C-alpha cells in the first residue's frame, strides 16, 4: 500500500461543507445586484476559486470600478461570516476526527492547504486546529490554486518533500494545484469533476486511512 509522509487537506468542501455557505453568500450578493447565479454555475465555475476570481466570474463582464469590486468582496465576506458564525464541530464530516487521528497514529503528518482567508476562523469554530501539524491558508501565498504554491507551502510547514505528500481536494482547480506541486491527488466529489486526480472518492465522510491510500 502507498504510504505518504504527509496528507494535505483542502478545507472547504472536503472536511466540512462550507462550500455551500460560500455559494449562499455569493448568491446573496448576486441577488443584491440583480445578477442571475445558480448552484450549477457555482459548482462549475466557483468551487475552490479565490475571492477576486469568483467576483470576476459573478460580474459576467459588467463594468464595475475597483472601489465597487472591493466593496462587493467585503459584502460577500460579511454574508459568509454571518453564515459560518454559528458553526460547531457537528459540521465536521462524519468520521472526520477519527480519520485525522488514524492518519497521525500511522506516523503521517497532517496539514491544511486552503485558499480561504477565513480558514483559521472555520478551523477554530470546528475545533480542528489541534489535528493539524501545519496550516497554509489564503494569507500564506500570493498565487492561489490552480498554482501549486499553497500546497508547496503546506508541505514546507510539515517539512515533508512534495513528492511524499498526498493532497486532497474537492475542486478541479485544487487537483491541478496538487499535481503541479508534484503530489499524488485525491479528488472528493463526482468523477467527472476531475481531469487529473489519481483517485476519486464521492465523499471523505466515513472513510478510513486504508480507503484513501488503496
Ligand atoms: C476556498 C473556497 O477554499 O476559498 C472558495 O472553496 C473561496 O469558495 C476561497 O472563494 C476564498 O475564500 P475566502 O474565505 O478568503 O473568501
Ligand atoms: Mg474546497
pLDDT tens, position by position, 55-98: 999 999 999 999 999 999 999 999 999 999 999 999 999 999 99
With 90 as the cut, is the pLDDT of residue 30 above it?
A: yes
> What are the pLDDT digits (tens) for 117-151?
999 999 999 999 999 999 999 999 999 999 999 99
**Which of 49, 119, 139, 189 has the most ligand 1 atoms within 8 A of CB, as the residue to mutate?**
49
* pLDDT tier at 167, thresholds 50, 70, 90: very high
Please indicate whether residue 19, judged by its CB atom, sits closer than 6 Å to ligand 1.
yes
**Of the options 1.20.1260.120, 3.40.50.720, 3.40.50.1000, 3.40.190.10, the CATH number for the domain spanning 6-17+89-213:** 3.40.50.1000
Asked if residues 162 and 152 have their Cβ atoms less than 8 Å apart, the reply is yes
Q: Which of 108, 133, 109, 129 is nearest to 119 (CA)?
A: 129
Cis peptide upstream of residue 146 (ω within 30 degrees of 0): yes
- Which residues are CB-contacts of 41 (< 8 A; sequence separation ≥ 6)? none
The residues annotated with a catalytic role in the active site are 10, 12
Three-state DSSP at 145 gives coil
User: Is 19-84 a CATH 1.10.150.240 domain?
Assistant: yes
What pLDDT, on the 0 to 100 scale, is given for residue 77?
Answer: 98
- Averaged pLDDT, 188-199: 96
Burial class, 192, CB count within 10 angstroms (exposed 0-12 / middle 13-18 / buried 19+):
exposed
Look at residue 23 and tell me whether its pLDDT is greater than 80.
yes
Measured from the Cα of 171, ligand 1's closest atom is 6
Please report, for the chain, the start and end positions of each structural domain, with discontinuous segments joined by +: 6-17+89-213, 19-84
pLDDT at 2 over 90: no
- Residue 9, helix vs strand vs coil: strand
Cell numbers for 172, please give them.
Answer: 478541479
Kindly give the distance from the C-alpha atom of residue 147 to the centroid of ligand 2, in angstroms, as a whole number.
14
Count the alpha carbons within 13 Å of 142 in the hemisphere toward its beta carbon: 0
Ligand 1 neighbour 138 (Cβ under 6 A): yes
- The yes-or-no verdict on residue 1 having pLDDT over 80 is no
Amino acid at each position: 500500500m502507498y504510504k505518504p509522509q504527509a496528507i494535505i487537506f483542502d478545507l472547504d468542501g472536503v472536511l466540512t461543507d462550507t462550500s455551500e455557505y460560500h455559494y449562499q453568500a455569493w448568491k446573496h450578493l448576486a441577488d443584491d445586484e440583480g445578477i442571475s447565479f445558480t448552484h450549477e454555475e457555482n459548482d462549475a465555475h466557483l468551487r475552490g476559486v479565490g475571492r477576486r476570481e469568483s467576483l470576476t466570474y459573478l460580474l459576467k463582464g459588467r463594468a464595475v470600478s475597483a472601489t465597487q469590486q472591493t466593496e462587493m468582496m467585503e459584502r460577500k465576506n460579511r454574508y459568509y461570516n454571518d453564515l459560518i458564525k454559528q458553526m460547531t464541530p457537528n459540521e465536521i464530516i462524519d468520521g472526520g476526527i477519527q480519520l485525522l487521528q488514524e492518519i497521525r497514529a500511522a506516523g503521517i503528518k497532517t496539514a491544511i492547504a486552503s485558499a480561504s482567508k477565513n480558514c483559521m476562523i472555520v478551523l477554530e469554530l470546528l475545533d480542528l486546529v489541534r489535528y493539524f501539524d501545519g496550516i497554509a491558508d489564503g494569507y500564506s501565498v500570493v498565487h492561489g490554486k490552480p498554482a501549486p504554491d499553497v500546497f508547496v507551502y503546506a508541505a514546507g510547514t510539515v517539512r515533508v518533500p512534495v513528492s511524499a505528500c498526498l493532497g486532497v481536494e474537492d475542486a478541479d482547480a485544487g487537483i491541478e494545484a496538487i499535481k503541479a506541486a508534484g503530489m499524488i491527488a485525491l479528488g472528493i466529489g463526482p468523477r467527472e469533476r476531475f481531469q487529473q486526480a489519481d483517485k476519486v472518492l464521492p465523499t471523505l465522510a466515513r472513510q478510513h486511512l486504508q480507503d484513501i491510500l488503496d
